[in-house]
């Protein structure tokens, strides 16, 4: 990236637009031509900046944009996005009128909210969510007749869609439970069609789209896959030789200070790291406020000059210390990679051009979730779409 773009910044994030296009096309080719794609941009697009990510999805001609809340949906409309938007999460009744005015589709998953939508009196597009075994939001199987009766009697609800969420579809070995969910969903689908409705039916998120073609129906909801992340280790191992996903996010910072400390020195709060050799230490100006997990104290690592630089001591709120003893000649202002591959222009002699730190790799160190790691990156950090 051009250094002038990030001038004055201590940390920033780069988003690769070519990788976004690649990932979208992977899913476009996975499904039939008449199967729609809903691009999930909720939760700040999994940490990637949802306004700009949604704009990229519109350019790629996605069919729907999926958000969690009305706040996100309205923000997209204010920015001029025209594609259909579905609010996947709970909508408070006070926002029903706004949704209708801005042509935003909302989810109905219980009788209380169904009643609130009817009482609002406004014509509005809805997607009925059914619970086929996830046991989160959604009507239950024995609600089918009651739901259809109420919908038929309402004069303002436009049934645009019908959907469910598959709980184990990202594991190719757990076919029995996933197929049982698909069977239950088919009962709802048949009932709605027999009642005269023609809803857009959707069940698959990224995992389902990759592994369960019988769950594609009329639309797939692609989230983590668009960002180049596999939904699970199992799906990656199963499909790695057939499908390539490209991570789109790189996270950078800079060296703020360099110093030599003698063997036996304690580093950071509580002196949790005692160096076993004379060490060259670099200080970088990011910490857990920025979204880098404190649990990676004395465990995580960054890339400096294409070489691994281990974290020394506690991850602080705004500061992390790293060992750059073997990273070559390091000076204040040098670029440090937190996630991604180092920029080739930052590699000195002896550094590896193929070095990379993936979000999955970091999450594995934590025995945690890549989704969580990415969505917790501070939204105030500048994202550059390049």
Joined tokens for residue 6: 């990030």
Q: How far, in Å, CA of 89 to CA of 69, rounded?
A: 6
DSSP structure class, residue 107: E
Percent above pLDDT 90 for the chain = 95
For residue 183, pLDDT over 80 is answered with yes
What is the per-residue pLDDT for 3?
A: 83
Q: Is 268 left (phi over 0), alpha (psi -120 to 50) or beta?
A: left
> What radius of gyration do the chain's Cα atoms show?
24
The model's pLDDT over 372-385, given as tens digits with 9 standing for 90+, comes to 999 999 999 999 99
Non-local CB neighbours of 115 within 8 Å, separated by 6+ positions: none
For residue 86, pLDDT over 90 is answered with yes
What is the per-residue pLDDT for 5?
A: 87
What is the bridge-based pairing of β-strands 200-202 and 36-40? unpaired
Cβ atoms 273, 281 nearer than 8 A: no
For residue 349, pLDDT over 80 is answered with no
Percent above pLDDT 70 for the chain = 99
Q: Which of 3, 259, 260, 269 is flagged as catalytic? A: 269
CA dihedral of residues 99, 105, 111, 117 (deg, nearest 10): 30
The model's pLDDT over 315-337, given as tens digits with 9 standing for 90+, comes to 999 999 999 999 999 999 999 99
For residue 347, pLDDT over 90 is answered with no
Model confidence band, residue 351 (pLDDT cutoffs 50, 70, 90) = low
Q: How far, in Å, CA of 66 to CA of 114, rounded?
A: 20
CA angle, 186 as apex, 42 and 68 as ends, to 5°? 10
Query: What string of H, E and C letters represents the secondary structure of 295-352?
Result: HHCCCCEEEECCEEEEEECCCCCCCEEEECCCCCCCCCCCEEEEEECCCHHHCCCCCC
What is the per-residue pLDDT for 1?
A: 83
Strand ranges inside the chain, DSSP E: 11-15, 36-40, 64-67, 85-87, 104-108, 124-129, 157-163, 200-202, 219-222, 249-254, 257-261, 266-267, 273-274, 279-284, 301-304, 307-312, 320-323, 335-339, 383-385
The model's pLDDT over 118-160, given as tens digits with 9 standing for 90+, comes to 999 999 999 999 999 999 999 999 999 999 999 999 999 999 9
Q: How far, in Å, CA of 248 to CA of 259, rounded?
A: 34
pTM score, whole prediction: 0.95
**Is 269 labeled as catalytic in the residue annotation?**
yes
For residue 292, pLDDT over 80 is answered with yes
Q: Specify the 3-state DSSP secondary structure of 225.
A: helix
**Is 46 labeled as catalytic in the residue annotation?**
no
Model confidence band, residue 88 (pLDDT cutoffs 50, 70, 90) = very high
Q: Phi and psi dihedrals of 231, rounded to 5?
A: -70, -15
DSSP structure class, residue 141: G
Q: Specify the DSSP element, H or E, that contains 121.
A: none
Q: Which of 42, 129, 307, 341 is flagged as catalytic? A: 42
Beta partners for residue 259, in sequence order:
281
Cβ atoms 132, 99 nearer than 8 A: no
Q: How far, in Å, CA of 95 to CA of 106, rounded?
A: 10
């Amino acid at each position: 990236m051009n250094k002038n773009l990030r001038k004055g910044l201590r940390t920033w994030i780069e988003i690769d637009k070519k990788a976004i296009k690649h990932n979208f096309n992977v899913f476009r080719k996975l499904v039939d031509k008449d199967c729609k794609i809903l691009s999930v941009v909720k939760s700040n697009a999994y940490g990637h900046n949802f306004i700009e990510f949604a704009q990229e999805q519109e350019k790629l001609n996605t069919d729907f944009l999926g958000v969690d809340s009305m706040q996100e949906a309205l923000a997209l409309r204010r920015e001029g996005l025209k594609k259909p938007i579905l609010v996947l999460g709970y909508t408070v009744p006070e926002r029903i009128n706004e949704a209708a005015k801005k042509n935003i589709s909302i989810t109905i998953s219980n009788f209380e909210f169904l009643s609130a939508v009817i009482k609002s009196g406004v014509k509005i597009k809805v997607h009925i969510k059914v619970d086929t075994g996830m046991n989160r939001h959604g009507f239950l199987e024995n609600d089918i007749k009651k739901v259809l009766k109420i919908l038929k009697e309402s004069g303002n609800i436009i049934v645009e869609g019908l959907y469910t969420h598959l709980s184990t579809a990202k594991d190719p070995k757990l076919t029995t439970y996933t197929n049982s969910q698909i069977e239950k969903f088919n009962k709802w689908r048949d009932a709605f069609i027999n009642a005269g409705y023609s809803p857009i039916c959707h069940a698959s998120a990224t995992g389902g789209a990759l592994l369960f073609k019988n769950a594609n129906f009329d639309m797939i909801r692609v989230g983590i896959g668009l960002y180049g992340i596999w939904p699970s280790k199992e799906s990656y191992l199963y499909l790695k030789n057939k499908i390539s996903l490209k991570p789109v996010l790189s996270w950078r910072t800079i060296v703020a200070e360099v110093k030599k400390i003698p063997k036996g020195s304690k580093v950071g709060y509580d002196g949790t790291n005692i160096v076993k050799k004379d060490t060259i230490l670099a200080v970088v100006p990011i910490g857990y406020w920025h979204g880098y997990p404190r649990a990676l104290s004395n465990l995580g690592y960054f890339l400096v000059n294409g070489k691994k630089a281990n974290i020394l001591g506690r991850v602080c709120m705004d500061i992390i210390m790293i060992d750059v003893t073997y990273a070559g000649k390091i000076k204040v202002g040098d670029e440090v990679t937190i996630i991604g591959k180092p920029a080739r222009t930052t590699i000195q002699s002896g550094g590896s051009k193929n070095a990379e730190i993936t979000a999955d790799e970091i999450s594995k160190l934590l025995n945690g979730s890549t989704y969580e790691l990415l969505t917790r990156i501070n939204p105030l950090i500048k994202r550059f779409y390049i």
